[in-house]
Amino acid sequence: MNVIKKFFNFIKKESFYVILFVCLCVIATAAGITAKKSADNKKKAQQKVAENNYKVNENKPTNDMPNADLVKQDAASKVKANAEKEAQKANTTKQVTNTAQVAFAKPISNGTVTREYKETPVKVETLDAWCAMKGISIKADKGMAVLAAADGKVTAIGESPDNLIGYYVEITHSNGMKTVYYNLDPAVKVKVNDVVKQQQQIGVVGGTAISLKLDKIGQDLGFQVLDSKDNQVNPTKYVSFK
The DSSP 8-state label assigned to residue 205 in this structure reads B
Residue 120 confidence (pLDDT): 82
Task: Give the separation between CA 102 and CA 97, rounded to whole angstroms.
Answer: 9
Task: Give the separation between CA 204 and CA 185, rounded to whole angstroms.
Answer: 6
Burial annotation 176-188 (CB, 10 A radius, 16+ → b, else e): bbbbbbbbbbeeb
Residue 55 confidence (pLDDT): 40
- Which candidate, 24, 218, 232, places its Cα nearest to that of 118? 232
Task: Give the separation between CA 31 and CA 36, rounded to whole angstroms.
Answer: 9
Q: Are 137 and 236 in contact (CB under 8 A)?
A: no
Rounded to 10 degrees, what is the CA torsion of 143, 144, 150, 152? 10
3-state secondary structure of 87: helix
Q: Are 172 and 155 in contact (CB under 8 A)?
A: yes
Q: Are 227 and 177 in contact (CB under 8 A)?
A: yes
CATH topology of domain 113-237: Glucose Permease (Domain IIA) (2.70.70)
Q: Which residues of the chain have pLDDT under 70?
A: 1-26, 28, 30-100, 126-127, 211-215, 217
Q: For residue 242, which amino acid is it?
A: K
3-state secondary structure of 236: helix
Residue 160 confidence (pLDDT): 84
The model's pTM is 0.58
Three-point CA angle 38, 40, 46, nearest 5°: 100
Three-point CA angle 140, 145, 148, nearest 5°: 105
Task: Give the separation between CA 41 and CA 185, rounded to whole angstroms.
Answer: 103
* Residue 153 neighbours by CB under 8 Å, 6+ apart: 171, 172, 193, 194, 195, 196
Q: What are phi and psi of 200, to 5 degrees?
A: -75, 135
